[in-house]
Amino acid sequence: MPCDTSLRRLILDRIIIHVDMDCYYASVEMRDDPSLRDRPVIVLSPSDQIQVVGTCNYPAREIGLHSGMSVAEAKMMCPDGAFINGDLRKYRAVSEELHRLWSEYTDLMQPVMLDEAYLDVTHTAGSIDEARRFAHEIQRRVREEMGMGCSVGLGYNMVSAKTGSEEMKPNGYFEILSRQDFIDLMEDRGVSEVNSIGPRTAEKLYQAGIRTVGDVRENRSVAANLLGSQAQRILDLCDGIDDRVVTPHNPEDSRSISRSMTFLSDVDDYWLLSDVMFLICVDIANKLAEHNRYGGGVFVIGAYSDRSQFSANRTAKGCKDAMDIHEVAMALFDTIPFRSVRRIGISVYNLSKADSSQTTLDSLMGPQDDRSELDSRLESIRKRYGLEHLSPEDVDRDTIRSIAEHMRTHRGR
């Protein structure tokens, strides 16, 4: 913990816990096979035909392995490691168990991907001492009931709680209970260590000689001029100010479904981009079907290799299947000047609930033809990129980057 807080009475407006599983995919595998616990464990994402490291445990990280590394390179660096094909269905099932456990401590839980979540325990804990008990109990139960480790941060807002969970990994606990505690801790840290400050923003600051959180605070006007519309948020974060509220996610209340990915290298192959965009559309269509929704418009957004952005959108009533979404998305993409692309994303917006009569009509007349077209398109992608097994269910936000990177590196082979 930071400076001793036991001698002062703390009354916080909000008490936030951030729980972050340590090396999540690898931890699940080590739990299921205890013989792996003392070995470097490398989980491939999502299968052995996608030659990218998904995640790895700490012994593997100490050797220098990391997410996104090619499996060939990882095997050269760590020939004795345990290389495991990722099983996302299993990881999702375990994630649901974790979320159920965490939700016992509050109704205000905001999951982040599969392996972490924010918990607002202001009212359920009622005091710092009780919140500490919650935090330690969560760690104990995750270890004893789930067989895995997690790191927990306790904070006065979301950025302080997230910073706390990062501070003592793995299996750590750290609390940051005031702005001054946050400032004292982060003053000499690099700007990239502040949650929500990404590589591009950090690079802008580095180029101006602003390298630490303290530098940002001492050069507020310079930082503000560099950062444009996001300046106030970045300055606030460096001051330990974060007004976000923990918001439980209800997919049925969403007004849009968006997916995007950033390539590890620039892509100047139009047809490869089209295929990747199709897989993004498959993922979006899966979510629309899961929640019985139709879209009212399609939005395409991305960034070129020089990081300048592009976008285009148009209304498209009743769009719901991957083929239709992709057709609109590519029509929009074709209106944009074509250059090397680093990031691409698609959003279907103005969602509405499908009415029962339309659903019944579709069930009687449409799905078999739609599925046949979908299967045909996926089969062509499988053959083009050497993907032996690729079904619509394999494509989602947790796998899309790995699949796309495989496609990029195997194009034309």
CATH code of the domain covering residue 33: 3.40.1170.60
Distance CA 244, CA 194 (A): 15
Determine which one of 62, 73, 104, 116 is catalytic.
116
Assigned domain for 5 exists: no
Sign (positive or negative) of CA dihedral 249, 250, 251, 255: negative
Give the residue from 293, 281, 343 showing the smallest Cα distance to 318.
293
Q: Is residue 271 located within the same domain as residue 332?
A: yes
Strand 293-304 vs strand 41-44: parallel, antiparallel, or unpaired?
unpaired
Average pLDDT over residues 294-316: 87
pLDDT of residue 42: 95
Is 246 contained in some domain?
no
pLDDT-based confidence at 353, cuts 50/70/90? Answer: confident
Cα 197 to chain centroid distance, Å, stands at 15
| Whether residue 28 sits in one domain with residue 177 | no
Q: Which domain holds residue 74?
A: 24-86
Give the confidence band of 261 by pLDDT, cuts at 50, 70, 90: confident
The first and second tokens of residue 5, run together, are 């807080």
Give, in degrees to the nearest 5, the angle at Cα 230 between 225 and 235: 75
Mean local confidence (pLDDT), 115-143:
95
Q: What is the pLDDT of residue 363?
A: 38
Considering the domain boundaries, does residue 51 fall inside one?
yes
User: Same domain for 275 and 396?
Assistant: yes
Are the beta carbons of 274 and 213 closer than 8 angstroms? no
Q: How confident is the model at residue 374 (pLDDT cuts 50, 70, 90)?
A: confident
In this structure, the answer to whether residues 267 and 405 fall within a common structural domain is yes
Please tell me the distance from the alpha carbon of residue 199 to that of residue 307, in angstroms, as a whole number. Answer: 12
Least confident of 206-210, 251-255, 346-350, 379-383: 251-255
What is the structure's pLDDT at 51?
66
Query: Of the candidates 63, 86, 109, which is a domain's last residue?
Result: 86
In the prediction, which pLDDT does 367 show?
A: 47
What CATH number is attached to the domain comprising 229?
A: 1.10.150
Residues 41 and 150 occupy one common structural domain: no
Question: Hey, what's the torsion of the CAs at 118, 124, 127, 131, to 10 degrees?
Answer: -40
**CB neighbour list of residue 227: distance below 8 Å, 6 or more residues apart:** 201, 204, 205, 234
Local confidence band at 399 (pLDDT 50, 70, 90 cut-offs)? confident
> With contact defined as beta carbons under 8 Å apart, do 254 and 352 qualify?
no
Judged by average pLDDT, the poorest of 114-123, 221-230, 253-262, 359-368 is 359-368
Of the three residues 238, 269, 304, the one that is the final residue of a domain is: 238
Q: Which single residue is written with the structure tokens 């994303």?
A: 345
**pLDDT of 362 over the 50 cut:** no
Give the least confident one: 12-26, 96-110, 347-361.
Answer: 347-361
**Which of 160, 182, 204 is the last residue before a domain boundary?**
182
Q: Are the C-beta atoms of residues 238 and 215 closer than 8 Å to each other?
A: no
Q: Give the Cα-Cα-Cα angle 6, 12, 15 (nearest 5 degrees).
A: 95
| pLDDT value of position 412 | 60
- Domain membership of residue 290 (yes or no) is yes
Of the two residues 328 and 49, the one the predictor is more confident about is 328
Q: What is the mean pLDDT of residues 258-273?
A: 89
For 340, the 3-state DSSP assignment is coil
Model confidence at 333, pLDDT cuts 50, 70, 90, reads: very high
Distance, CA of 238 to CA of 166 (rounded, Å): 16
181 touches 128 (CB < 8 A)? no
What is the pLDDT averaged over residues 383-402? 81
- Please compute the mean of the pLDDT values over residues 320-330 and round it to a whole number: 94
User: Given the structure tokens 């980057």, which residue do they identify?
Assistant: 401
Confidence band, pLDDT 50/70/90 cuts, at residue 63 = very high
Residues 204, 350, single domain; the answer is no
**Count of domains for the chain:** 4
Q: Do both 124 and 206 map to the same domain?
A: no
Distance CA 160, CA 174 (A): 10
pLDDT digits (tens, 9 = 90+) for 169-190: 999 999 999 999 999 999 999 9
CB-CB neighbours of 104 under 10 Å: 13
Single pTM value for the model: 0.69
Closest CA relative to residue 314, chosen from 304, 324, 323, 306: 324
Would you place residue 2 in the very low, low, confident or very high pLDDT band (cuts 50, 70, 90)? very low
Q: Are residues 169 and 119 in the same domain?
A: yes
Q: Is the model's pLDDT at 227 over the cut of 60? A: yes
Is the residue at 244 inside a domain?
no
In the chain, the amino acid numbered 333 is F
Q: Are residues 404 and 261 in the same domain?
A: yes
Would you state the structure tokens that stand for residue 198, as one six-digit string?
């990404």
* pLDDT confidence bin for 370, thresholds 50/70/90: low
The pLDDT value recorded for residue 359 is 42
Asked whether residue 339 falls in the same domain as residue 298, the answer is yes
The confidence score (pLDDT) of residue 365 equals 35
Residue 74 lies in a domain: yes
Same domain, 328 and 343: yes
CATH code, domain carrying 364? 3.30.1490.100
Cα–Cα distance for residue pair 211/216, rounded to 1 Å: 8
Mean per-residue pLDDT for 262-290? 92
Among the ranges given (7-11, 14-18, 248-252, 328-332), the one the predictor scored with the smallest mean pLDDT: 7-11
Identify the band that residue 83 occupies on the pLDDT scale cut at 50, 70 and 90: very high
Report how far apart, in Å, the C-alpha atoms of 309 and of each of 215, 217, 259 are: 29, 29, 16
Same structural domain for residues 389 and 255?
yes
- Torsion over CA of 350, 356, 358 and 363, rounded to 10 degrees? 120
- The answer to whether position 11 is within a domain reads no
Mean pLDDT over residues 343-358, rounded?
Answer: 76
Whether residue 32 is contained in a domain is answered as yes
pLDDT at position 65 over 50:
yes
- pLDDT tens digit string along 21-42? 999 999 999 999 999 988 999 9
Estimate the crossing angle of helix 270-290 against helix 367-385, to 10 degrees: 140
Question: CA 336, 272, 67 angle in degrees (round to 5)?
Answer: 110
- Distance between CA atoms of residues 7 and 370, nearest Å: 66
Instruction: Mark whether 116 is an active-site residue.
Output: yes
